[in-house]
Amino acid sequence: MARQDHTRTADPPRAVTAPLTVKLHVADPSLPRAELAALAKEAHETICPYSHATRGNVDVQIDVKGG
């Protein structure tokens, strides 16, 4: 019976040349900035399905402008 030896090496990791970043702009002049920032952060971390789907893969920044 013939014998075959196989060697497989892993492909080197690919460099990420253009990481994806998202900046959320949240504005509501009827709420204080701190309260609006807390609501936006909570929505991003616990509610938004897009945030859940991209967590760990996309850098997200939240820009808040409150009253």
**CA angle centred on 17, ends 15 and 22, rounded to 5°:** 120
What are the φ and ψ backbone dihedral angles of 24, each rounded to 5 degrees? -90, 125
Band of pLDDT at residue 3, cut at 50, 70 and 90:
low
* pTM score over 0.95: no
Beta bridge partners of 28: 66
Residue 64 is predicted with a pLDDT of: 94
Distance CA 31, CA 38 (A): 11
Q: Is the pLDDT of residue 42 over 80?
A: yes
- Per-residue pLDDT, averaged over 40-56, amounts to 92
